[in-house]
Amino acid sequence: MKICVIGPGYVGLVGAAIFADMGNQVVGLGKNKEKIDKITKGVMPIYEPGLSEIILKNVKEGRLKFTTSATEGIKESNVIFICVGTPQGDTGAADLTAVMAVAKEIGNNLNGYKVIVTKSTVPVGTNERIEHVVQENMPKGGEFDVVSNPEFLREGTAIEDMRNTDRIVVGAKNERALKVMRELYKDFDAPMMECDLRSAEMIKYASNALLATKISFINEIGQLCERADANVQVVAEGVGLDKRIGRAFLNATGVGYGGSCFPKDVAALYKTSTDQAYDFKLLRSVMEVNELQKFNFMKKITKAMDDNLSGYTFGVLGLAFKGDTDDIRESGAIKMIRMIRGHGAKLRVYDPAAMENTKKVLGHDGIYYSKDMYDTLEGVDALCIFTEWNEFKSIDLAKSKKLMKGSLLFDARNLLDQKAVEGAGFIYIAVGKRTNGYTEDGDIVSTAILRNGK
Ligand code: UDX
């Protein structure tokens, strides 16, 4: 098939790479010439393991190319994927400016029947608006169908997620469009769910919102566990064994969920509900709990430091919103660093992939960007782990203890083994469980003696 993928971001690049790799003729369309030239040479604008290799291979074998020419990209293809961003607007709703601009462009270049497939996450009713805009801009007699085909890939495992997706959701209005979609996905080993446009649009939001709800739920269970002296990790294991619930997305964290999707999509769905004169109370709480989670973790830090962070230095491992990505959008780590710095502390920070992105938003004021994990620990009074990179899991605790001045370790991801950390002489404070950083009454320890490890 001849495919045009508009928007070389996460979804667009991964989609272009995989459809080309499956034998289709694919052209990726973007606006920025420099970016497009780099992609063609295998230099990706995003950090995604394995992506560059697949793109280079398919460019070399002649199935994939990238262009800034809308005419070339659209006219040559019979299936057009819309994969541009839908960032959060001022009202919380998804900003559809880029989607509608693309719809206009497609209309302007319509030559013969095309299936226009929306992969961008868009609110209910958007595909009908796209249809309208294309109609308004196309030449007389133009023929096309719109299809909603939401994408469920996660950053860091995007290629695997798209190739081995659990389901392919296709919202369409007629058999003509469905036939093309069945052909397009015929080699994927996943059930295709065919439905109406609006339900397909809603499936994407409902999926992300439900996953975010699971996270906020387990984060609140974690709050209770700390108070009641239970262990949230054990509870998640036990609850997750119930097949009806499942273990996934039940990892409590001190920094809440982040990234370019959950915060934006939950807010957009909430906005959709208020637009429909419905107050989605559960979603409101999901968002509120997610924000509170960071403040609650910050409270633990300040309590352990006797409410005085000024003059102390914190080591921070992890800046990205989760492991295996350089993405810091809505990253809980960045928000925590801002709070710690706001309390007058200095920081030494490290992330295997997100250093450059972080420098751009946090600058250098009060922050030293470390060379590696252990450089971060040199002389720090306390260490925080904010992102679940595998590299941090295997940290040498004895070596770390020697490098640090103090002995406080705040693990906002429950990444480390409690016994090992406590055994190495740290005062350990994590999420949803009591540790040696708590008094018998369940309060956070707060002595300067412990803090300095004397
Ligand atoms: C998400 C959806 O999973 C994906 O289907 C959709 O297409 C895009 O949004 P992504 O944002 O890449 O993907 O990351 P994901 O792995 O889902 O994690 C989102 C956030 O939730 C991260 O901050 C992560 O750390 C957090 N999380 C995840 C938890 O706090 N606990 C968990 O148990 C799982």
- CA 318 – CA 336 distance, rounded (Å): 11
Q: What is the pLDDT of residues 277-320, one digit of tens each?
A: 999 999 999 999 999 999 999 999 999 999 999 999 999 999 99
On whether the CB atoms of residues 214 and 249 are closer than 8 A, the answer is yes
**Distance from Cα 388 to the centre of ligand 1, integer Å:** 12
User: Which residue has the CA at smallest separation from atom 10 of ligand 1?
Assistant: 154
**Distance from Cα 42 to the centre of ligand 1, integer Å:** 26
Give the length of the chain: 454
- Residues that are catalytic: 261
Does the pLDDT at position 240 exceed 90?
yes
* Ligand 1, atom nearest to 330 Cα: 23
- CA 241 – CA 257 distance, rounded (Å): 22
Please choose from 207, 262, 336, 392 the residue to mutate so as to test ligand 1's pocket, defined by most ligand atoms within 8 A of CB: 262
**Distance from Cα 208 to the centre of ligand 1, integer Å:** 8
H or E stretch covering 72: helix 70-75
pLDDT band at 450 (very low <50, low <70, confident <90, very high): low
pTM of the model: 0.95
- CA 273 – CA 353 distance, rounded (Å): 37
- CA 346 – CA 367 distance, rounded (Å): 6
Does the pLDDT at position 182 exceed 60?
yes
Residue 148 phi, psi (nearest 5): -100, 120
Rg (CA), the chain: 24
pLDDT score for 452: 53
Which residues form ligand 1's pocket by a CB distance below 6 Å?
A: 151-155, 208, 211, 215, 249-251, 253, 257-259, 261-262, 321-322
**Distance from Cα 262 to the centre of ligand 1, integer Å:** 7
Structure tokens at 177: 């469009």
What percentage of residues in the chain have a pLDDT greater than 90? 96
DSSP 115: E
User: Angle 60-12-182 (CA atoms, 0-180°, nearest 5)?
Assistant: 90
Does the pLDDT at position 114 exceed 90?
yes
Structure tokens at 165: 């997706």
- CA 28 – CA 34 distance, rounded (Å): 14
pLDDT score for 446: 78
- CA 3 – CA 19 distance, rounded (Å): 8
